[in-house]
Amino acid sequence: MNSTVIIKNKTTIQELISDIKQLTKVGLSLSVVFSSVAGYLLAADIINYSTLLILAVGGFFMVGASNAYNQIIEKETDAIMKRTQNRPLPTGRMSVNTALTIAITFTILGILMLYSINPKTALFGAISIFLYTSVYTPLKSVTPLSVFVGAIPGAIPFMLGWVAATNEFGIEAGFLFMIQFFWQFPHFWAIGWLQFEEYKKAGFNMLPMNTKDKKAVAQIIFYTFIMILVSVAPVLKVSGAFYIYPVTAVIIALLGFIMLYYATQLYKSEKNTDARKLMLSSVLYITLVQIIYVVDKFLH
């Protein structure tokens, strides 16, 4: 009897952990933490490992909180879409109160940890949560411009690392922000293309002009091109202390052209297979670019 109770408790704890992971989107949260760590390494003259750890954990809490609030707000629409209907809230495995407790706890812990680095880092973290949950999430069902608003909190983590290391928001942090800001349009619109029918069912407007056609892909191509220009601009030494070698700029441009290639393929075919290739290449792009910037910095 006791062993049955222990096994049952163990599975209940495992299920709860699994639900918390889903609620806070652990995978996505870790990729965001990766961005802020890259931003920190780019800025820091001397790496303070305790600061780096606080930034990573605090950043994780902030993103996890944003995702949890998002799922509380979108509980009803999540139940409509195949991709999200098995989440803890629409299935009833977790109550809204439990989710809200997790979200608030993560917010408080995240802000306190980032504040212990410096107040500016905490401020940008708080702005990110506010914009994501209070502006971007409600706008998704109103206008395709929600993607522009969503790109702001999405672009903060890379810049956040720089602010954490320097306690300054200057041209360098601004450039890191712009790189991740413009990257998000091809990335999210590729997802919007793949999930278009599902989003439509839930009443979300996630593609430009809310149409799945060549006009939407033309916007993707335009923003991919801007993203490449901003990503290589530090070679011209226009971005303060953040600059890169010409060979680094060439490598980054080539990575950007891979995205551009898949975007033009999507323009020709309008097929989901090409949208998926574009989406995957965008994930590869932002990951590699951040690594390349850090490697370039340590070669200076």
Task: Tell me how many domains the chain contains.
Answer: 2
pLDDT for 114 beyond 60:
yes
What pLDDT, on a 0 to 100 scale, did the predictor assign at position 69?
96
CA distance 240 to 101: 42
Residue 159 and residue 28 share a domain: yes
**What pLDDT sits at residue 209?**
83
Judge if 149 and 7 occupy the same domain. yes
- Tens of pLDDT, residue by residue over 176-207, are 999 999 999 999 999 999 999 999 888 898 88
Give the pLDDT score at 191: 95
Final residue of a domain: which of 108, 139, 168? 168
What CATH number is given to the structural domain containing 98?
1.10.357.140
Total residue count of the chain as it appears in this document? 300
176 in the same domain as 119: no
Say if residue 259 is in the same domain as residue 221.
yes
Domain boundary (131, 151, 168) is at: 168
Alpha-carbon gap, residue 28 to 286, rounded angstroms: 13
User: Are the C-beta atoms of residues 29 and 102 closer than 8 Å to each other?
Assistant: no
C-alpha 25, offset from chain centre: 11
Q: Tell whether the model's pLDDT for residue 111 goes beyond 90.
A: yes
Q: What is the pLDDT of residue 5?
A: 53
Are 89 and 131 within one domain?
Answer: yes
Residue 93 has pLDDT above 70, yes or no: yes
* Mean predicted confidence (pLDDT) in 60-66: 96
In angstroms, the CA 185 to CA 208 distance is 10
Among 168, 191, 218, the domain-final residue is 168
Considering the domain architecture, whether residues 206 and 192 belong to the same structural domain is answered as yes
Question: Closest Cα partner for 36 from 299, 296, 286, 295?
Answer: 286
pLDDT recorded at residue 13: 86
- At 12 the pLDDT is 85
Q: pLDDT tier at 256 (50, 70, 90 boundaries)?
A: very high
Q: How confident is the model at residue 210 (pLDDT cuts 50, 70, 90)?
A: confident
pLDDT at 57 over 60: yes
* pLDDT for residue 10 is more than 70: no
- Same domain, yes or no, for 236 and 106? no
Q: Are 164 and 230 within one domain? A: no
Separation CA 270–CA 275 (nearest Å):
8
Here the tokens at position 218 are: 């033309």
Q: Is 153 a residue whose pLDDT tops 60?
A: yes
If asked whether residues 97 and 134 sit together in one domain, one would say yes
Question: Looking at residues 119-140, what average pLDDT do you find?
Answer: 95
**C-beta of residue 44 within 8 angstroms of C-beta of residue 163:** no
Specify whether 190 is located in the same domain as 276: yes
Q: Among the ranges 14-18, 58-62, 141-145, which has the highest mean pLDDT value?
A: 58-62
Q: What pLDDT shows up at residue 9?
A: 61
Q: Could you tell me the residue range of the domain that residue 279 belongs to?
A: 170-300
42 shares its domain with 151:
yes
- 3-state SS, the chain, equals CHHHHHHHHHHHHHHHHHHHHHHHCHHHHHHHHHHHHHHHHHHCCCCCHHHHHHHHHHHHHHHHHHHHHHHHHCHHHHHHCCCCCCCHHHHCCCCHHHHHHHHHHHHHHHHHHHHHHCHHHHHHHHHHHHHHHHHHHHHCCCCCCHHHHHHHHHHHHHHHHHHHHHCCCCHHHHHHHHHHHHHHHHHHHHHHHHCHHHHHHHCCCCCHHHCCCHHHHHHHHHHHHHHHHHHHHHHHCCCCCCCCCHHHHHHHHHHHHHHHHHHHHHHHHCCHHHHHHHHHHHHHHHHHHHHHHHHHHHHC
Asked if residue 157 and residue 124 are part of one domain, the reply reads yes
